[in-house]
Amino acid sequence: MLRLVLILIVVALVLWVLQGRRIRRLARFARFSRSQKDPDAFARNLMTIGRELAHAVVPLSSSPQSLPVAAQQLELPETFLSEDQEINVEEFLNDTNSTGMLILVGGEVVYERYWQGMTTSDVHMSFSVAKSITSTLVGMAVEDGIIESLDDPVDKYESRLVGTGFEGVTIAQCMEMSAGTDFQEDYEKGKPSDMPRFQKHFAMGKPMIDFMQTIGRAREPGTFNGYSSLDCLAAGLALEAALGSKSLSQYMYERLWDPIGAEQDGYWMTDPQGRAMTPGGFHGCLRDYAKFGQLFLQKGRWGDRQLISEEYVERATTPHAPHLMPGLRADCLKPWGYGYLWWTHEYPYAGDYFASGIHGEYVYICPEKDLVIAKLTANTHFYDRPESYKLNYADMFQAIARSL
């Protein structure tokens, strides 16, 4: 009888601890959500939340590399044209609550600036810039033989996706945002979206795979370019399953973060099973985001090492199917072009492409101008006009490229 009582007490204590963790996690997410009305508080939250909640560390490089600074610094254009309006660059950077921007030309820093109290050593949430990092890790895993082919279905590696809308969908189709599942994602106020359900699920500390198992099929995979963070998550879960006992954060350190000389630790937000929030939960410092962009500008080469093949870089950053081409049509949801979790402008310039996060996080690459722009933002007005802001940022980056 005493043994049974002790067991019940232990169970009660475990449940109490777990419930306490869940309450604290929910409170932290609630504070994060409320802070989006206050630019200063929101900026601080974007720099701290990744370490305050469950996370996996991607350690800084064993040989951190400083970016060389050019003797001649860049003067930004005074204005740029977007949506038939002439927009003042300085006012735009301030009005959108920028936190950091770094520009590389020829691999040298020609512009580096911080706002909202951010410093060179601070990390910052990247939201969907993380998708482009996930794409890179998947490409590396294929080249390492960890994943046999991008044409493999995701459920070949993550069997818990069998019986869901992702069953039979290839890794490539997921990275093209073309899985065809029944999940609607929109960030504009007043528009229907399933994303709040997923965000609530994650905030409550529930396994992400549980949510994935509720998702059905809406259309034939590989025929429509929609936008669903769950597509990226499916590819990420397949990668993590393929890695076996090695974590995604450890793999990222070995194959990406250590070789490029990352100067600060990175952080992946994780669920209770330790799975990384691959669609939008990575945190890094501005200089390391810029290095990630420089790796792609250099077609996957860093120093004397080819970290990822030129062929994959080209494939990942170039629309390569009718439904992925820029321009609004019946087979796409947005006017942008798409590769493997990388965007192209509706009106591309000089071979440019970019990674994009919802509040104004970007890694922009313009190969013909030898240009990389890493941009971090705490835009509290983003939800008022998300696609419009995205176009403004992309047009500003093109204006900077044209000024070179």
pLDDT at 4 over 60: no
Sign of CA dihedral 340, 343, 347, 350: negative
Among candidate residues 196, 199, 234, the one with its CA nearest the CA of residue 215: 234
Lowest mean pLDDT among 15-29, 73-87, 209-223, 341-355: 15-29
Q: pLDDT-derived band of residue 86, with 50, 70 and 90 as boundaries?
A: very high
C-alpha distance from residue 121 to each of 114, 250, 267, 332 (Å): 11, 21, 13, 39
Grade residue 8 by pLDDT with cuts at 50, 70 and 90. very low
pLDDT at 208: 98
How many angstroms separate the CA atoms of 18 and 321, rounded?
47
**For residue 2, what pLDDT is reported?**
53
What percentage of residues in the chain have a pLDDT greater than 70? Answer: 95
Give per-residue pLDDT as tens, 110-152: 999 999 999 999 999 999 999 999 999 999 999 999 999 999 9
Around Cβ 12, how many Cβ atoms within 10 Å?
Answer: 10
Residue 30 burial by Cβ neighbours in a 10 Å radius (0-12, 13-18, 19+): exposed
Pairing label, strands 85-88, 98-105: unpaired
Angle at 229 between CA 243 and CA 314, to 5 degrees: 70
Cβ atoms < 10 Å from Cβ of 155: 20
More confident residue, 6 or 162: 162
The per-residue pLDDT for range 155-176, each reduced to its tens digit, is 999 999 999 999 999 999 999 9
Residue 12 scores a pLDDT above 50:
no
Q: Is the Cβ–Cβ distance between 74 and 103 less than 8 Å?
A: yes
Predicted local distance difference test score (pLDDT) of residue 6 = 52
Q: Is the pLDDT at 29 greater than 90, yes or no?
A: no
Residue 154: name the closest of 212, 214, 207, 198 by CA: 212
What are the φ/ψ torsions at residue 338 (nearest 5 degrees)?
-145, 145
For range 296-302, the mean pLDDT? 98
Residue 11: band (very low, low, confident or very high) from pLDDT cuts 50, 70, 90? very low
Greater pLDDT, 267 or 20: 267
CATH class of the region 38-402: alpha beta
- By mean pLDDT, which of 11-25, 40-54, 265-279 is the weakest? 11-25
Neighbour-count burial for 270-292, b at 16+ CB within 10 Å, e otherwise: bbbeebbbbbbbbbbbbbbbbbb
**Mean pLDDT throughout 21-42?**
80
Which whole number is the average pLDDT over 70-84?
A: 98
Report yes or no: 194 and 186 within 8 Å, Cβ to Cβ.
no
* Residue 376 contacts residue 118 (beta carbons within 8 Å): yes
Would you state the pLDDT for residue 36?
Answer: 86
* pLDDT value of position 16: 44
In 131-272, the DSSP E strands lie at 266-269
Q: Determine the longest span between alpha carbons in the chain, in angstroms.
A: 80
Q: Which tops the pLDDT comparison, 192 or 248?
A: 248
Average of per-residue pLDDT values in the chain? 94
Encode pLDDT of 318-346 as tens digits: 999 999 999 999 999 999 999 999 999 99
Q: Which residue has the higher pLDDT, 384 or 25?
A: 384
Neighbours of 330 (CB within 10 A): 6
- Percent above pLDDT 90 for the chain: 88
Give which of 386, 105, 73, 62 is closest to 254, Cα–Cα.
62
Which stretch of DSSP H or E encloses residue 103?
strand 98-105
Confidence of residue 33 (pLDDT cuts 50, 70, 90): confident
Q: What is the pLDDT of residues 45-62, one digit of tens each?
A: 999 998 889 999 999 999
For residue 24, pLDDT over 90 is answered with no
